[in-house]
Amino acid sequence: MALGENIQARMAMQGKGIVSALLVYIKGAMDRVVKPETRRDVYNTLHDFANDRPVLASLLLALTLLSLTPLLLFTTFAISVLLFAFTFSVFFSVFWIGLASFLLVPTLLVCVGLGVCVWMWGLGTWILGMWVRRLVVGRMT
């Protein structure tokens, strides 16, 4: 029994250590987001408001607590819909761009081939023109 109680006591101490470490981490994270002085001022303002108008403060607290879950669920839903739409739009775009590239590459190859043919035709015409010019100019002299 003494050994089992010792293990339970150790586990309880470890659990308290984990919880206290978690609380320290959360407090540090909150300190980075909101300064402790600002948090203290807000707390004092809320405390004064609750002391001055307890009925209104309790109504606002009840409304906040009861509305918090639907608001968080709606916010989560809206963010997940936006992420899904963004992800789907990226996949949709990549698919159609990839499909279009299968048409673009052969079209560009045909265009390059036609461009080389037109350039060679022009070059051949120019060379032929120069040859004819030499023939004509050579006969005139």
One-letter amino acid of 60:
L
DSSP class per residue in 70-129: HHHHHHHHHHHHHHHHHHHHHHHHHHHHHHHHHHHHHHHHHHHHHHHHHHHHHHHHHHHH
Structure tokens at 20: 């206290």
Q: For 43, which DSSP code?
A: H
- pLDDT grade, residue 5 (50/70/90)? low
Q: Which domain holds residue 60?
A: 34-140
Q: Which pLDDT belongs to residue 25?
A: 87
Rg (CA), the chain: 40
Q: Which pLDDT belongs to residue 22?
A: 85
Q: Is residue 127 assigned to a domain?
A: yes
How many domains does one find in the chain? 1
Q: Which pLDDT belongs to residue 29?
A: 87
Q: Is residue 73 assigned to a domain?
A: yes
**Using one digit for the tens of pLDDT, what is the confidence trace for 49-68?**
999 999 999 999 999 999 99
